[in-house]
């Protein structure tokens, strides 16, 4: 069956010296504080194993153009394909993931929260999920393409995200701000994977071609391209868990 898994990463961290007790949450330009759940971290040594497995087993790391062509231009994708996505543009991706991806000549996507990017590079620390600066982010463009993850709407109150609570006009204006910055247009990832039905309608109106959820699963021609599945590569995963995930 022709299709692909989308893999979702956030922070790629060193195992040595890792201490969740010291963790204080995200550090971003926007005046907003949150805590990245521990399971959304991935140890660098495991990430290296995962990428080596994909390389050694002949997987294609897709570009967004290939995914758009699959859904809109009736073009097949290679039999063993994955789309690699990294949310929020944390500095650990530049330090730890980017060199590994470059080594294997892989393609990847960064879903960017524009309002979180710093004007000047910040010091990396394991105590925080530190966001990149714009220049740091764009320095990875030989591997990464950059897509919309909102400007200032990657926020939540309780169990609801700003995408679920803000008015349509505010959302579309926010999307426009981020869209002007990112290099690959009309592609979106729902913050926290949260959305309501109207959001899909508004994204269609905005001209969005692909939108990614946080629901597990394999994407086929039958999958709604505005509700694409993504599999989170969790901290507790062994390489066997990773391989098993790709077989489902």
Query: Cα–Cα distance between 61 and 54 in angstroms, integer?
Result: 9
Q: Average pLDDT, whole number, for the chain?
A: 97
Q: For 11-29, what is the mean pLDDT?
A: 96
Label residue 227 exposed, middle or buried (CB < 10 Å: 0-12, 13-18, 19+): middle
Q: How many CA atoms lie within 13 A of 9 on its CB side?
A: 31
Encode 238-248: b = buried (16+ Cβ within 10 Å), e = exposed: eeeebeebbee
**80-104: average pLDDT:** 98
Contact 189, 211 (CB under 8 A): yes
Q: What is the pLDDT of residue 158?
A: 87
Contact status, residue 112 vs residue 181, Cβ threshold 8 Å: yes
What is this structure's pTM? Answer: 0.98
Placement of tokens 């109150």 in the chain: 157
Q: Does residue 1 carry a pLDDT above 80? A: no
Q: Residue range 177-200: average pLDDT?
A: 98
Identify the CA nearest to 179 among candidates 201, 156, 149: 149
CATH of the domain at 221: 3.20.20.370
User: Into how many domains does the chain fold?
Assistant: 1
Domain encompassing residue 89: 3-247
């Amino acid at each position: 069956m022709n299709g692909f898994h989308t893999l979702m990463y956030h922070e790629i961290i060193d195992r040595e010296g890792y201490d969740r007790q010291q963790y204080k949450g995200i550090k971003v330009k926007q005046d907003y504080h949150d805590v990245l759940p521990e399971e959304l971290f991935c140890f660098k040594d495991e990430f290296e194993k995962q990428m080596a497995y994909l390389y050694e087993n002949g997987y294609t790391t897709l570009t967004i153009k290939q995914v758009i062509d699959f859904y809109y231009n009736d073009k097949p994708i290679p039999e063993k394909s994955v789309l690699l996505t990294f949310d929020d543009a944390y500095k650990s991706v530049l330090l730890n993931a980017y060199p590994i991806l470059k080594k294997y000549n892989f393609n990847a996507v960064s879903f960017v929260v524009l309002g979180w990017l710093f004007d000047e590079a910040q010091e990396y620390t394991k105590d925080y999920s530190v966001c990149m600066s714009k220049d740091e982010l764009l320095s990875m463009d030989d591997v990464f393409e950059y897509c919309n993850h909102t400007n200032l709407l990657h926020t939540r109150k309780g169990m609801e995200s700003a995408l679920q609570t803000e008015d349509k006009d505010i959302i579309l204006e926010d999307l426009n701000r981020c869209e002007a910055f990112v290099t690959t247009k009309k592609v979106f990832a729902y913050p926290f994977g949260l959305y309501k039905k109207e959001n899909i309608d508004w994204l269609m109106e905005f001209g969005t071609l692909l939108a990614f959820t946080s629901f597990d699963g394999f994407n086929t021609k039958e999958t709604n391209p505005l509700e694409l599945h993504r599999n989170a590569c969790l901290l507790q995963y062994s390489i066997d868990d990773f391989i098993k995930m790709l077989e489902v």
